[in-house]
Amino acid sequence: MGDTSGMRMVILAAGLGSRLWSEAGRRPKMFVEIGGRTLLERQLDIAAFLGLEPLVVTRPELAEEFRRTGVEVLVEEAPTGILATLYHARAALDRPFCWIGGDMLFTDPAPLAALVADHLAGGFTVSFFFRQSTRFKAKLVLGEPPEVVVTWEPGYSLSIPNFWVLSPEVFAHMAPDPNANYMRGVIAAGQPFLFREYPAAVFEIDTPEDVAEARRFFGEGTGEA
């Protein structure tokens, strides 16, 4: 897969997840169990499979809960968004790194391994997967500025980036405002991108209904993360 030694997987876990407190025992929603393992344990399994060092980024009031598991934790005092969080954590991200949302549940890590390998081998600045589901799909079109084109057709739904691999060069395009359109700066600098659709089931765990759907998937023995 390429040399991933020291490469980080940043798990963004600043959400309170209050809608799932009944499922997680009033703990952060990454402690919801799916098929006998918590979301956090499943994401740590992904990190181990990819050979990445996990780093959980969370808010102060949730930090101790994560530290009890033994995972490395970085506290962001006032979470404001994904890019601002990565910018805040940049001192720990001086090699190519991945990030994943704390509520994402991937059912097959092999496509992620392929993405990381291509990223490392191809010298890409940004790589990520899109996923598709049922009513329409969106495709990011590179240009100046970048554009999202939405196509309505049976068999597709909105494709969203769920798993990113980035190189430290992105921080040069995020400063001094990490909430600015950093992607436009990266494109203007001629940095290469890689995009893929994720070919396996992905769950975004936001509601009790999402939990039930994911549990049905794993309970049927159709796959394990």
What is the structure's pLDDT at 223?
A: 44
- pLDDT tier at 178 (50, 70, 90 boundaries)? confident
Domain that holds residue 214: 8-129+161-219
Residue-wise DSSP of 93-127: --S-EEEEETTEEES-SHHHHHHHHHHHHHT-SEE
d(CA 157, CA 67): 37
Question: Is 93 exposed, middle or buried, given 0-12, 13-18 or 19+ CB atoms closer than 10 A?
Answer: buried
141 domain-assigned: no
Angle at 42 between CA 115 and CA 183, to 5 degrees: 40
Ramachandran bin of 125, using left for φ above 0, alpha for ψ from -120 to 50, beta for the remaining angles: alpha
190 domain-assigned: yes
Cβ atoms of residues 12 and 102 within 8 Å: yes
119 domain-assigned: yes
Count of domains forming the chain? 1
144 domain-assigned: no
- pLDDT digit string, tens, across residues 86-115: 988 899 999 999 999 998 999 899 999 999
137 domain-assigned: no
CATH number at residue 77: 3.90.550.10
Average pLDDT for residues 12-22, to the nearest whole number? 76
192 domain-assigned: yes
155 domain-assigned: no
Q: What are the backbone angles phi and psi of residue 167, rounded to the nearest 5°?
A: -110, 155
136 domain-assigned: no
